[in-house]
Amino acid sequence: MIARKTYTLNWKNHTLELGCRTIIMGILNVTPDSFSDGGRFFARDAAVAQGVKMAAEGADIIDIGGESTRPFANAVSAEEEMRRVIPVIERLFARVATPISIDTTKAPVARRALEAGASIINDITALRCDPDMAAVAAEFGTPVVLMHMRGSPQTMQVAPVYADLIGEIRGFLQEAIRRAEQEGLSKARIIIDPGIGFGKTVAHNLLLLKHLDALHSLDVPILVGPSRKSFIRKILKDERAEDIHPDHPAVETGTQATVAAAVLNGAHIVRVHDVANTLPTIKIMDAMLKAE
């Protein structure tokens, strides 16, 4: 059990106290092809209704994405990504006070999303994909999530190998923080994500959760996104069976086990599909961390 350092994230009209309790980031995929709930919230009305629902259930952040980042997913254009997410962000911003995050790797999409009401950038490439992304983040003074990923969604799950899993991920994130600061971002608004499921095997993901505390020395808040990932499904399925569907109840139970492990090992934010189910888990885990 790891004691978490506390951080105060201040930006625009928002303040989040990180470490006193675990923050929930709710996932809202406005896509037809995400690995979980792909297509369910592709229609704008359905997406807005889901965002309002997650806010009511206790989400501290709503993370909206218009391009699937599942393994082997096809990329979409910035124009198509904006067509999917901008109307949803505009309508949701008008209805809830919950901070909205834009899950994108493209600076034009991030800019339009921030203009529409989003106020956090969640970049799975840690600002490496689009050279203009850091400038957009610095201009708007927005918090940024920097994630570790080996390769791209099209290549990341092709036999990933590490000589030193924890050391390599820590080194990657340390360098990502350094680059972000060099490009004008304040370390006080940087969040790191070790990238569960992004270029990792089942064993890699389990070790990463087990040794999450190795990232504490980077001195920034830690986000973990294990929700319904394939490593959970591979552990739970019968050896002779096909993959379990991501929406299967057992997968959600497995997700909550990984959420609990992440919190106990120092995660400040958990990114999940099911906010209502996650809230009791983190309440118990947070109470355990505070017990003396």
- Flag whether 198 is in a domain: yes
- Flag whether 152 is in a domain: yes
Q: Is 229 a catalytic residue?
A: yes
Alpha-carbon distance values, 82 to 19, 102, 129, 144, 158 (Å): 33, 11, 17, 19, 29
**Catalytic residue of the set 5, 229, 233, 237:** 229
Q: What is the pTM of this model?
A: 0.92
Output the domain CATH number for residue 56. Answer: 3.20.20.20
**Catalytic residue of the set 200, 271, 283, 290:** 271
Number of folded domains in the chain? 1
Q: What is the span of the domain harbouring residue 212?
A: 7-290
CB 94 within 8 A of CB 118: no
Provide CB contacts within 8 A for 58, sequence distance 6+.
24, 275, 276, 279
Q: Is 234 a catalytic residue?
A: no
- Flag whether 2 is in a domain: no
- Flag whether 1 is in a domain: no
Print pLDDT tens along the chain (292 aa). Answer: 667 899 999 998 999 999 999 999 999 999 875 555 555 666 788 899 999 999 999 999 999 999 977 666 677 899 999 999 999 999 999 999 999 999 999 999 999 999 999 999 999 999 999 999 999 999 999 999 999 998 656 555 666 789 999 999 999 999 999 999 999 999 999 999 999 999 899 999 999 999 999 999 999 999 999 999 999 999 998 776 677 888 889 999 999 999 999 999 999 999 999 999 999 999 999 999 999 8
